[in-house]
Structure 1
């Protein structure tokens, strides 16, 4: 059991969560409680049809839909959405989808202070945080502010059954990454460590069920539950080298977000493993294994995930560039960061090797 022999600080995040199959039916109630009457729905092109149906269902209080959200929240796309916010005098935002939709909603909230109701359809977990990552000029910059955090999160399991297996797996691994780094965060605490262990345990049990049967409601429910817990971890404590590198790689090389997390996580964990015994002890329990880094690699690969950054589109010359960027605005990390060690970490992920 992890022990904390030194004082710690835990701040409880204030988000209202509505969880369960069919819970999107409570959206009207949640909008009423927030007093919202001129709402903008945001999402990606893939959610356009669903969002238009939602607009018709909710009636006149939905003043517009914006379906141009994309990965890494480019500032240029946010500026387009902001023109709609201003022209329609929007008083709240509803986001439907994964990290792209939620990122855009957060970017609007950061600029306006408008309340958000978020309806996740993936396992990204960003809905539980006051963190925003925006990309401009090939650089992804992270911002933190209380107004970025959504007011309400509606977890409707039914909306995740159509999520393709490949995306379910990488999205779930993305969520696991939040919990892994929360376990060895310099500001972790007993509450977050417990949530992180449970979140990992729930997801690693759920993902094989989803791969075998995408409409398995037990698998989907456990995955969404695990993602929620991992999202709380992400929003409560600091992240480390894994998240720093994912932001760097995503913003610089426009790599797919969840897939990059999946390929990089086992190597980042292996880099830190010898310097964080309490985190490894919890991960061994959650994964039922001696080697958590190898277990995560094997699970993702078995379920069909691409484990090579090269195959995800990263050029080989990007290894050196990413190494250099890792040392700018560094995140706290349990193991001292050495340029050669970080370069090896990135190189192994680029090659898709199983971690040692």
Structure 2
């Protein structure tokens, strides 16, 4: 059978240089011709953001950032941006910070320059997410894709090892999901496989030498590849599960992904042997699940959802919500019982093998 597929590559400038964030951001703001810049950073990263943006025409520094971007938080940020008539946004931080910048861009079209300090990957996608009540809604819109991304591994040095591991495994989940997500194609699979290799190489170096740049750089490179693959391939079963759990129960984003990933891989892998073999090769392992579990042991990865706030009694409601959003082309058939077992194992921290 001949190879046939359609692939769309998102247009975005990417700048990668450790120690070069301030210079790169300044050049990107100049390239945009922006004169009224809004800087978004959580309180813990405000000082870092000011160092990066010191030479910019900043009219507003906004620090109200929350996980899963609650609608009221987004509305206040949108109002602040409109009041100050901003013409560019510089966001410095993790996925929640980038997500808030996207919420503003979604309704205003103001261009974003993203400066990630974690391995979240949101900066390289055109996906937005907002949470209202107990429901997280996501969508795709070209307005939210950052105009430019400035990667500086030196900015991740302050990210503690535990959070680095969780964030890196979140990126790894983007790679694994991209192997069988609704719109996946051979280009996505190639990017995802290299992303797995880079993350599996870089994250142990971060654990062994948290102050070293080589591991941080490789992990950041892998996280970028994972996000590009995910943006094209779409949201697979893993992300559907984690979005429901995050929206319904406000579970922390990265640890939730880190815990759920092996359970989804154990479910889907046997039903997608070609993809599973490619994942295994990227890990340098005999099987995909063994490669992932070996890496998780090496990193002392998060193990159980109950450690992050999920109660056993909440599982049935989550199963019902997830069942309605399971992708039609998921490799494995998924019934309520499958999700019940998967979530209970993830809640308990059971070995998915």
- What TM-score does the superposition give when structure 2 sets the normalisation length? 0.96
- Give me the whole-angstrom Cα distance separating, in 2, the residues matched to 1:304 and 1:228: 23
Runs (5+) with no aligned partner, structure 2 = none
1:278 Cα deviation after fit = 1.4
- Give me the whole-angstrom Cα distance separating, in 1, the residues matched to 2:130 and 2:326: 17
Pick the aligned partner of 1:158 from 149, 154, 160.
154
Pick the aligned partner of 2:347 from 327, 347, 350.
350
Conservation of the 8 A alpha-carbon contact between 1:206 and 1:220: yes
Query: Does residue 331 in structure 1 map to residue 327 in structure 2?
Result: yes
Conservation of the 8 A alpha-carbon contact between 2:326 and 2:334: no
Q: Deviations over 1:72-126 (max 9, x none)?
A: 0111111111121111101111110110100001111001111000000110111
- Give me the whole-angstrom Cα distance separating, in 2, the residues matched to 1:301 and 1:170: 13
Give the structure 2 partner of residue 121 of structure 1. Answer: 117
Q: Deviations over 1:41-100 (max 9, x none)?
A: 112121122223344x124x1001111111101111111111211111011111101101
- Give me the whole-angstrom Cα distance separating, in 2, the residues matched to 1:159 and 1:285: 31
Q: 28-37 or 44-53, which moves further after superposition?
A: 44-53
Name the SS of the counterpart of 1:310 in structure 2.
helix
Pick the aligned partner of 1:96 from 79, 82, 92.
92
Q: Deviations over 1:130-184 (max 9, x none)?
A: 0011101111011111111111000011111221100110111000100101111
Conservation of the 8 A alpha-carbon contact between 2:39 and 2:92: yes
Conservation of the 8 A alpha-carbon contact between 1:126 and 1:234: no
Q: Deviations over 1:291-324 (max 9, x none)?
A: 3224323422432322100111101111111100
Name the SS of the counterpart of 2:136 in structure 1.
strand
- Give me the whole-angstrom Cα distance separating, in 2, the residues matched to 1:95 and 1:230: 20
Conservation of the 8 A alpha-carbon contact between 1:123 and 1:224: yes
1:5 Cα deviation after fit = 4.2
Give the structure 2 partner of residue 299 of structure 1. Answer: 295
Give the structure 2 partner of residue 284 of structure 1. Answer: 280
1:157-306 to structure 2, matched below 5 A, reads 157-306=153-302
1:217 Cα deviation after fit = 1.3
Query: Does residue 132 in structure 1 map to residue 163 in structure 2?
Result: no
- Give me the whole-angstrom Cα distance separating, in 1, the residues matched to 2:113 and 2:349: 38
Query: Does residue 80 in structure 1 map to residue 63 in structure 2?
Result: no
Conservation of the 8 A alpha-carbon contact between 1:125 and 1:230: yes
RMSD: 1.3
Conservation of the 8 A alpha-carbon contact between 1:69 and 1:77: yes
- Give me the whole-angstrom Cα distance separating, in 2, the residues matched to 1:261 and 1:5: 35
Conservation of the 8 A alpha-carbon contact between 2:62 and 2:77: yes
- Give me the whole-angstrom Cα distance separating, in 2, the residues matched to 1:334 and 1:133: 25
Name the SS of the counterpart of 2:295 in structure 1.
helix
Name the SS of the counterpart of 2:312 in structure 1.
coil
- Give me the whole-angstrom Cα distance separating, in 2, the residues matched to 1:308 and 1:49: 34
Conservation of the 8 A alpha-carbon contact between 2:277 and 2:287: no
Runs (5+) with no aligned partner, structure 1 = none
- Give me the whole-angstrom Cα distance separating, in 2, the residues matched to 1:187 and 1:281: 20
Give the structure 2 partner of residue 17 of structure 1. Answer: 14
- Give me the whole-angstrom Cα distance separating, in 1, the residues matched to 2:296 and 2:262: 10
1:277 Cα deviation after fit = 1.1
1:6 Cα deviation after fit = 4.5
Conservation of the 8 A alpha-carbon contact between 2:277 and 2:288: no
Name the SS of the counterpart of 2:113 in structure 1.
strand
- Give me the whole-angstrom Cα distance separating, in 1, the residues matched to 2:52 and 2:217: 23
Query: Does residue 48 in structure 1 map to residue 46 in structure 2?
Result: yes
Conservation of the 8 A alpha-carbon contact between 2:25 and 2:52: no
Give the structure 2 partner of residue 33 of structure 1. Answer: 31
